[in-house]
Amino acid sequence: MFDEVIDGIRGIFGHPTGPIPLHAPWFDKEDEEAVAACVRSTYVSSVGAEITAFEQDLVKFTGAAHAVAVVNGTAALHTALMLAECGPNDLVITQPFTFIATCNAISYTGAAPVFLDIDADTLGLSPDAVRAWLVKHCTMKGRACVHSSGKRVRACVPMHSFGLPMHIDALVAVCAEWNITVIEDAAESLGSCRGGKHTGTFAPMATLSFNGNKIITCGGGGAVLFGDADMAKRAKHLTTQAKVAHPWAFSHDATGYNYRMPNLNAALLRSQMRKLPHNIAVKRELHERYNALFAGTPWTMVQEPTGTRSNHWLNAVLMRNMQERDAFLSACHAGDIQARPASELATDQPMYTNAIHGDLAVSRDIQDRLVNIPSSAYPKQNPLT
Ligand SMILES: *Cc1c(COP(=O)(O)O)cnc(C)c1O
């Protein structure tokens, strides 16, 4: 039943035999030289010019006002949630259809996640679901949005799934009414825009990841984007052990974190940044080829939402039901093609089975039927070998 699409995937990647990875990183001589030059400089750690330069590159590319580079995307989320003042008496709204890091970062602060449904057209948190839940369960007490449990709803973390921009403008409007801080988890959507505006610039804070499977990578890395200069400054302070600037003294004015990105990683990322427009173009072309491959089959490619431009970080296809999804995954596995289901819903993981949640029908339906298919930007060959 799946022979034709499996042959088609091999055709697209020009690999008649051998494994086809879900997402392979891509490095060239320029990347290699950037790392070597940084090593030669000896400035590989927490001091160096590459970090600030990379933060400026991010600002230029996304249009965000400020960027703070950190060790990974999970630390970026934790940092943003701390700046939103999330703590043990708070709730944070998010979607169960996400990578587990989004939920874990909420737990690190002591706050409890609230899981609400996604929209079928974006696979991101539904502004309508958020509004309905707030109206039903919360009231404003002064400037605080208070849940019937007595806990305060402090923040909301939507995620731009697989690079598809969710309805962030509508969500920001709902959260403004209820004085809830929005943090965009844009780990998967570097290069994606809604209405010409880059994801990660709609809310006061947004987070990025440069893990090995993301659209550009330095092995491990992350960043927080900010609209406000003072918040960016506080993030830099918190992520560098809350060290007070001084020519020689070591003093610290808070419990800080060692979340700063090493200069070596930033050097590689600056080189990777130069390839980002090219990576996006290749991924968008790959998406069109998949659209052609799946046209006329019973299976549906997930498309970019109306009014958006997706980086198509990971291509996704919807099967008709879970049995068919599992049969397709088996066929891909047998054919040495790395495909995978979406992350299991957070509410199905033991840490979150008792979490507060709304009706999750769309999340459940999408999770049951979705398969991510190979999406490397440079599938054919590694230029270093
Ligand atoms: C990759 C990812 C993260 C975490 O990034 P790390 O750099 O691996 O810590 C967070 N959220 C989402 C949605 C991701 O895809």
pLDDT digits over 246-297, tens only? 999 999 999 999 999 999 999 999 999 999 999 999 999 999 999 999 999 9
For ligand 1, whether the C-beta of 207 sits within 6 Å is: no
Distance (angstroms) between ligand 1 centre and the Cα of 221 equals: 10
Residue nearest to atom 13 of ligand 1 (CA): 99
For ligand 1, whether the C-beta of 94 sits within 6 Å is: no
Give the count of beta carbons closer than 10 Å to the beta carbon of residue 77: 29
375: Cβ contacts below 8 Å, ≥ 6 apart = 22, 23, 283, 286, 312, 313, 314, 315
Structure confidence at residue 348 (pLDDT) = 98
Tens digit of pLDDT for each residue in 310-366? 999 999 999 999 999 999 999 999 999 999 999 999 999 999 999 999 999 999 999
Distance (angstroms) between ligand 1 centre and the Cα of 97 equals: 13
pLDDT of 128 above 60: yes
Tell me which H or E stretch contains 206: strand 205-209
125, two tokens: 């948190």
How many whole angstroms separate alpha carbon 48 and alpha carbon 272? 18
Structure confidence at residue 382 (pLDDT) = 52
Q: Give the pLDDT mean for 231-240.
A: 97
Q: Distances from the Cα of 69 to the Cαs of 53, 263, 283, 337, 341, in angstroms?
A: 10, 10, 25, 34, 30
Tell me the pLDDT band of 385, cut-offs 50, 70 and 90.
Answer: low
pTM of the full structure: 0.97
CA-closest candidate to residue 132, choices 354, 358, 365: 358
Tell me the pLDDT band of 1, cut-offs 50, 70 and 90.
Answer: confident
Tell me the pLDDT band of 15, cut-offs 50, 70 and 90.
Answer: confident
For ligand 1, whether the C-beta of 74 sits within 6 Å is: yes
For ligand 1, whether the C-beta of 102 sits within 6 Å is: yes
Structure confidence at residue 383 (pLDDT) = 52
CA-closest candidate to residue 341, choices 22, 1, 3, 12: 22
Residue entry with tokens 């809310």 = 203
Q: What angle do CA 99, 104, 110 make, to 5 degrees?
A: 155
CB 95 within 8 A of CB 363: yes
335, two tokens: 């054919």
Ligand 1 site-directed mutation target among 77, 94, 99, 125, most atoms within 8 Å of CB: 99
The domains of the chain, with CATH numbers, are 3-27+275-373 (3.90.1150.10), 29-273 (3.40.640.10)
* 175: three-class secondary structure by DSSP: helix
In percent, how much of the chain has pLDDT > 70?
98
